[in-house]
Structure 1
Amino acid sequence: MTEQELIDYYMLVNVYGLGKKSLHKLLNTYKSASDILALPDNEIDKILPAKTAENFKYSKKHWNKEKEYKKMLDMQIRMIPYDDEEFPDKLRTIPDPPACIFVKGKLPQNDIPSVSIVGARMCSEYGRYVARQFGLELAEAGIQIISGMALGVDGISQKAALKAGYPSYAVLGCSPEICYPDSNRDIYDMLCQNGGIISEYKPGTSPEARLFPMRNRIISGLSDIVLVIEARKRSGTQITVDMALEQGKEIFAVPGRITDRLSDGCNELIRQGAGIALSPDDIIQSLGDIVTKPIPGSSNEPSGSNSYNSFKNLSPLEKNVLDVMDIYPMSATQIAELLEKNKIKEPVSVILQTLTMMQINGFIESKGSYYVKKVR
């Protein structure tokens, strides 16, 4: 698509009241945005509702399309129309596809598996732990992580992949130059550097509650599998699941305790037939043969002190301690008791010394006199 065609398309997208369905219909009839803008006013009056036709004619007279298009480019945003060859193949076939998308950074690669990770915004410590583990290990397996950069599970899983040097992609419910929520600014900046920000909403579109349900169809549409980590029975996550099912996507859910309300949604999905994700391997195996090499553009190895090589340097006792620990706080005495059940008997004083060294090396965290596993 030529630059002039893109400029004309951008103008059409900005005509107030001209929605994606009308735009698809016009393009199917007249083939290009330039052809549509060349139509005489009386023809526009025939094919568009009266108010939209008036807006269309007003924009043609008063909207400086070249200037406005340059403003978008200056924000490092590019527009990809539905009929452009760069438009993601996975989005072409979904019900109600966007007429175009706006991208800051890169798009997910069509030939690399993608998994969307969604879940509760106010997630538990268990949810945080699982989101980090799945986000990181799926990324390490060469799988692209897609989500909505929301608080909680979405952002945590994306941040885990990004911090380790792997790309991730966020679909926003506002235009791509706006970081929402602002508290995830660090994730937004990392996505722009190693991944991308995607939206069907033109620059200048503020985040509104009504826009977020629609963006969920793009999150699931770009993915091969939708993974749910913690969700209440009635939550926004269910909207993404419903859209994914309509698109023919596979759903997986991480189970939780029946007493945890944040696990009700996941447990119900499993009862209804969703795949059970007990570990990232369950997702990897479902995707079949994949390239396990790092995705082009990512670092060769996860960053931070807790890479695979670091784990190889653990002493036998440290490995045993890590095996019996959980994300829930445990005292040195509790750890010693669990080790003894595994026929490993060590004084609590030795366990405390071991825990201190493991804390210094970044494998665990202390919560007063209690200790928890630290996600690598």
Structure 2
Amino acid sequence: MLTENDYAKWLFNTPGLGSKGVFGLLDKGYSCEEIYKCPDKELRTLLTAKKANALIRHRQNWNFELERKKLEEKKIRFVSFFDPDYPKKLKDIPDPPFGLYVKGKLPDENKPSVAIIGARMCSDYGRFMAREFGRNLSLAGVQIISGMARGIDGISQKAAIDAGGSSFGILGCGVNICYPDENRDVFDVICNEGGLISEYYPDMLPMSGLFPQRNRIISGLADIVLVVEARQKSGTQITVDQALEQGKEVLAIPGRTTDRLSDGCNYLISQGAGVALGTQDVLDRLWGHHGTLTKKQVEERNKDEEHQDTKEEYPDDFEEEPKRSLEEEIADMIDIIPISTSQIMEKLHQKEIDISIPMLMSNLMELTFKGEIIQDGVYYRKRFL
């Protein structure tokens, strides 16, 4: 027996109609089933001649049972705007998709969600921050939403999955198409705890014009949009604009003013976006403005705060940190921003650690052999896998 969702899938896939066209027809008081059974003559009074003819041809060629089997074989389901599973967050955005193809799960409405977005061609700094926020937010029980593009998107989603959390990829192609192929490792496992979502029919190949449209779904499913690294004029800005139009809060991670890849983030901050210096900044916003943290997270947060208060009140009850080795001290001074041997030596002196140049070079060489740092001439930077 056919359901309204079956008729909705047929209507949504009418060539040239799209979500706006479907909603326009339904606003005239018809159901999807009624439109399917509507006489040709009546359809031509509801649509332009071109669209009416396309819908009539589409009706003649559509096979409900065949279409149902196609999705079942691919383990994909169609969720229309009227389906109880349709995300409530998307119903409130200015231009909601009429239907979604889903492989895996949809985001849990009772859990907080953060969209992590940024540059495809990102720096070491961007990669590091994407991993840090993706992992730590996931460990805090936050769902990670992104576009599974190369760079910031894929890195943050992989970090979330590796941490045992859930992530959701919003695609500019069919949900059974992995694009780009370098994110195959994410594509293959994301449905275990999360899902792939697209408004485009399965097997639809990626096209440049499809990606800006899907960005409204990324921001729409999120409570907060976090920009990790982006140029001032980039595709990331499209998602930010859509997030602001939807009334979503935007946070940005600041970068050096000389880095062009940080221009977008620094500009957003200058225009009033929130600053995210660490995961806690994002969690505080979720806590303060969205009220979406779970009971378990509330208890863990309170427990951490009580522990901190106790530690400050009774410092003698806590053991002192073990003395750090010279190698650990040196490793701590090296980050993703290249640093010279003279700068390392100066930092050591500031900490009142006396060391000779040969001893410093010996420790740097050992850290390089261990794969913890990378040498580039007289400069060293931390390695992030």
TM-score greater than 0.5 by the shorter chain: yes
Q: Is the 8 A contact 2:9 2:99 kept in 1?
A: no
2:159 is paired with a residue whose SS is helix
Structure 2 residue identity aligned to 1:366: I
Cα shift readout 1:345-375 (whole Å, capped 9, x = no counterpart): 345666667667767877x233467653345
* Residues 286-325 of structure 1 aligned to structure 2 (within 5 Å): 286-288=285-287, 290-291=293-294, 315=324, 317=326, 319-325=328-334
Q: Which residue of 1 aligns with 2:300?
A: none
Q: Which residue of 1 aligns with 2:308?
A: none
Q: Distance in 2 between matches of 1:130 and 1:28?
A: 45
Q: Which residue of 1 aligns with 2:125?
A: 126
1:209 is paired with a residue whose SS is coil
After superposing the two structures, state which structure 1 stretch, 26-35 or 249-258, moved more.
26-35
Q: Which residue of 2 aligns with 1:308?
A: none
1:215 equivalent to 2:223? Answer: no
> Bigger radius of gyration, 1 or 2?
2
Q: Distance in 2 between matches of 1:330 and 1:272?
A: 31
Q: Which residue of 2 aligns with 1:339?
A: 348
* Residues 344-355 of structure 1 aligned to structure 2 (within 5 Å): 344-346=353-355
Indicate the structure whose relative CO is greater, using CA pairs within 8 Å and at least 6 residues apart.
1
Q: Distance in 2 between matches of 1:332 and 1:107?
A: 50
* Residues 272-291 of structure 1 aligned to structure 2 (within 5 Å): 272-288=271-287, 290-291=293-294
After superposing the two structures, state which structure 1 stretch, 343-352 or 148-157, moved more.
343-352
Give the aligned length: 357
Rate the CA distance shift 1:58–1:225 in 2: closer, same or farther, 3 A: same
Q: Is the 8 A contact 1:339 1:345 kept in 2?
A: yes
1:12 is paired with a residue whose SS is helix
Structure 2 residue identity aligned to 1:339: L
1:104 is paired with a residue whose SS is strand
Cα shift readout 1:278-301 (whole Å, capped 9, x = no counterpart): 11211111111634869xxxxxxx
Q: Is the 8 A contact 2:104 2:196 kept in 1?
A: yes
1:24 equivalent to 2:32? Answer: no
Q: Distance in 1 between matches of 2:327 and 2:109?
A: 42
2:173 is paired with a residue whose SS is coil
Q: Distance in 2 between matches of 1:314 and 1:197?
A: 47
Q: Which residue of 2 aligns with 1:183?
A: 182
2:209 is paired with a residue whose SS is helix
Structure 2 residue identity aligned to 1:190: V
1:227 equivalent to 2:218? Answer: no
1:145 equivalent to 2:144? Answer: yes
Rate the CA distance shift 1:374–1:292 in 2: closer, same or farther, 3 A: farther
Q: Which residue of 2 aligns with 1:261?
A: 260
Q: Distance in 2 between matches of 1:314 and 1:114?
A: 40
Q: Distance in 1 between matches of 2:142 and 2:282?
A: 10
Rate the CA distance shift 1:89–1:356 in 2: closer, same or farther, 3 A: farther
Mind listing any 5+ residue stretches in structure 1 that lack a counterpart? 295-311
Q: Distance in 2 between matches of 1:314 and 1:36?
A: 75
Q: Which residue of 2 aligns with 1:169?
A: 168
Shift of 1:170: 1.0
Shift of 1:318: 5.3
1:226 is paired with a residue whose SS is strand
1:234 is paired with a residue whose SS is coil
Q: Is the 8 A contact 1:10 1:69 kept in 2?
A: no
Q: Distance in 2 between matches of 1:203 and 1:164?
A: 29
Q: Distance in 1 between matches of 2:73 and 2:96?
A: 27
Q: Distance in 2 between matches of 1:111 and 1:199?
A: 21
Shift of 1:340: 2.8
Q: Is the 8 A contact 1:146 1:219 kept in 2?
A: yes
Q: Distance in 2 between matches of 1:332 and 1:234?
A: 36
Task: State the TM-score, normalized to the length of structure 1.
Answer: 0.86
* Residues 110-121 of structure 1 aligned to structure 2 (within 5 Å): 110-121=109-120
Q: Distance in 2 between matches of 1:227 and 1:40?
A: 49
After superposing the two structures, state which structure 1 stretch, 99-108 or 183-192, moved more.
183-192
Root-mean-square deviation (Å): 2.7
Rate the CA distance shift 1:3–1:169 in 2: closer, same or farther, 3 A: farther
* Residues 20-59 of structure 1 aligned to structure 2 (within 5 Å): 20-30=19-29, 32-59=31-58
1:15 is paired with a residue whose SS is coil
Shift of 1:88: 0.7
After superposing the two structures, state which structure 1 stretch, 321-330 or 242-251, moved more.
321-330
Task: State the TM-score, normalized to the length of structure 2.
Answer: 0.84
Structure 1 residue identity aligned to 2:204: T
Choose from 350, 366, 369 the match for 2:374: 366
Cα shift readout 1:301-346 (whole Å, capped 9, x = no counterpart): xxxxxxxxxxx99955455334322113446675454233212334
Rate the CA distance shift 1:149–1:324 in 2: closer, same or farther, 3 A: same
Q: Distance in 2 between matches of 1:149 and 1:285?
A: 26
Rate the CA distance shift 1:52–1:354 in 2: closer, same or farther, 3 A: same
Name the % identity: 49
Rate the CA distance shift 1:313–1:28 in 2: closer, same or farther, 3 A: farther
Mind listing any 5+ residue stretches in structure 2 that lack a counterpart? 298-320
1:326 equivalent to 2:335? Answer: yes
Rate the CA distance shift 1:359–1:367 in 2: closer, same or farther, 3 A: closer
Q: Which residue of 1 aligns with 2:238?
A: 239
2:3 is paired with a residue whose SS is helix
After superposing the two structures, state which structure 1 stretch, 364-373 or 197-206, moved more.
364-373
